[in-house]
Amino acid sequence: MTGDGGGWSRRRYLRGVATVAGVTGLGTGRGGAQDGSTGLPTGERRPALFVHLGELAAVRRRVLAGDDPWASAFETFAADVRESLTATPRSVTDSGGSTFRSGDPGSGESARADYTAAIEMGDRVRDLGLAYQFTGEDRYAERTVAFLDHWFLDPETRMEPRLTNGIELYVTIPKLWYGADLVRNHDAWDDGSVGSHAALEEWTDTFLSTIPTATPDWVQNIFVWRETCRAAGAAYLGDDGRLREAFDRIRADGFRQRREDWLLANELQRSEGLSYSLYALKAFVTAAELGRHYGEDLYGYERDGEPALRRLFEAHVPFFFDPEAFDERFGEVGGFAAREREEGTSAYELAYSQWEDESFLRVVRSRGSEVRNEPTYVEQHQDAIDSRGRPVRDERLLGWTTLTHANRFDLGAGDASDRLSGQTGR
């Protein structure tokens, strides 16, 4: 085994597996498949928003075999899961009131408290949901449902189902739905101490109805994140009409700001143009990954005869290796920070999986040469930001993309036949 992260060993791999499952090995779970079989211990094989459980089963096999890049990423993921099992749940009521409120960036920690709570809770719900699928162990699903109940359903702590802040909710609420979909069939929802799954679906439907649908005159990343949020909620509900409309808006208007060189004009005008460009790139590829599982092809979408999303990725490659060149062309001082590099490299992990372009893989491995550093909102993200090479982590929605989305072309025969079969039903 040779890992991109360095210092990898079989012993560390086994310790990481044991951290999640509680045993040396990924376990058989609640009546699910045995180790080495083709399925997950939960026995499920369906889309779950940003992953397909058939592909996740293939990832699990590669982790069991100790194959990188997945096995190295599993160890880092396992550490996050261990922390989440004992974490204290948070909600918007911690800062007073039941509506989500967040100040602008730079407004201070207390003004951003709801935003940081949503980031942290989304991380924990997603990671615990994934741990349940990897192991089949009830404790992960039960903790996931308890956290979801705390955020969405418990009358004492719930967030009201309406849009109050745009971008902060667009990049956090879908992560909670993602985790919820990973445990949607678990009987923890039938425990009388928590709200029902039907109540969460009702919350989601109400929340989606408060998101605006008009296309702004000035289209930039917030518009794409908005439609990605809408599409994720629609997929969670099985609402094909709203899902299709969201992707239609992205295809029709999301690429409106692209220039002839496939850089993004409206992001370039901002004070941190390269950083915002990578943020937009992340929005597009997150939407594309959702669409891949629900019959909405954004990866293959063409604009003026060109493969639009791939061209966006190609256009941004040079700046990872010479960020000062961006400053020279567009007047931004100081290149970009480690956090923005992480924003980009975790997106390029998905792009490499889709197109097997070696320049995209070089970007994924490029971390560690950033011009400057800066802290992020949530402490558990910082190790990924400070590290070099794989595994890479998306702090927005997807988490350790090297674990769940890397090298899809190399997951093994037998997975492709049904992973993209258009299974959108429940």
Of 1-10, 109-118, 133-142, 228-237, the poorest mean pLDDT is in 1-10
User: Given its phi and psi angles, is residue 188 left (phi above 0), alpha (psi -120 to 50 degrees) or beta?
Assistant: alpha
Q: Could you tell me if residue 124 is inside a domain?
A: no
The domain total for the chain is: 1
Q: pLDDT tens for residues 415-424?
A: 433 433 334 3
Nearest residue to 128 via CA among 176, 196, 56: 176
CATH number at residue 393: 1.50.10.100
Torsion (CA) 253, 259, 261, 264 in degrees, nearest 10:
-70
Res 386: pLDDT:
64
Residue predicted with more confidence, 381 or 190: 190
Res 269: pLDDT:
84
Q: Could you tell me if residue 312 is inside a domain?
A: yes
Q: pLDDT tens for residues 378-391?
A: 666 666 666 667 89
Q: How far is CA 374 from CA 290, 341, 382, in A?
A: 30, 11, 9
Residues of the chain above pLDDT 70, percent: 79
- The answer, yes or no, to whether the previous bond of 391 is cis (omega within 30 of 0) is yes
Q: How far is CA 343 from CA 1, 399, 405, 413, 414, in A?
A: 27, 11, 15, 31, 32
pLDDT at 16 over 60: no
Q: Could you tell me if residue 335 is inside a domain?
A: yes
Residues of the chain above pLDDT 90, percent: 66
Q: Could you tell me if residue 43 is inside a domain?
A: no
Of 393-397, 399-403, 404-408, the poorest mean pLDDT is in 393-397
Q: Could you tell me if residue 252 is inside a domain?
A: yes
Are the C-beta atoms of 398 and 405 separated by less than 8 Å?
A: yes
Return d(Cα 44, Cα 167) in angstroms, integer. Answer: 33
pLDDT, average across residues 314-335: 76
pLDDT at 7 over 50: no
Q: Could you tell me if residue 255 is inside a domain?
A: yes
pLDDT range class, residue 10, cuts 50, 70, 90: very low
Q: Could you tell me if residue 38 is inside a domain?
A: no
Rounded to whole angstroms, the maximal C-alpha distance in the chain is 61
pLDDT, average across residues 26-51: 71
pLDDT range class, residue 246, cuts 50, 70, 90: very high
Res 68: pLDDT:
95
Of 74-78, 108-112, 210-214, 243-247, the poorest mean pLDDT is in 108-112
Res 372: pLDDT:
52
Return d(Cα 235, Cα 184) in angstroms, integer. Answer: 13
Are the C-beta atoms of 116 and 377 separated by less than 8 Å?
A: yes
- The answer, yes or no, to whether the previous bond of 155 is cis (omega within 30 of 0) is no
pLDDT at 15 over 60: no
Mean residue pLDDT across the chain: 85
Res 420: pLDDT:
38
pLDDT, average across residues 258-271: 90
pLDDT at 217 over 50: yes
Give first-to-last CA distance, the chain, whole Å.
Answer: 38
Q: Is 8 exposed, middle or buried (0-12, 13-18, 19+ CB in 10 A)?
A: middle
Are the C-beta atoms of 264 and 210 separated by less than 8 Å?
A: no
Nearest residue to 227 via CA among 205, 249, 210, 251: 249
Residue 234: which domain range? 212-406
Q: What residues contact 92, with CB distance under 8 A and at least 6 apart?
A: 98, 99, 100, 101, 114, 117, 118, 159
Q: Is 346 exposed, middle or buried (0-12, 13-18, 19+ CB in 10 A)?
A: buried
Res 383: pLDDT:
64
Res 298: pLDDT:
98
pLDDT, average across residues 300-317: 95
Res 38: pLDDT:
63
pLDDT range class, residue 334, cuts 50, 70, 90: low
Residue predicted with more confidence, 388 or 247: 247
Q: Could you tell me if residue 35 is inside a domain?
A: no
Return d(Cα 103, Cα 41) in angstroms, integer. Answer: 42
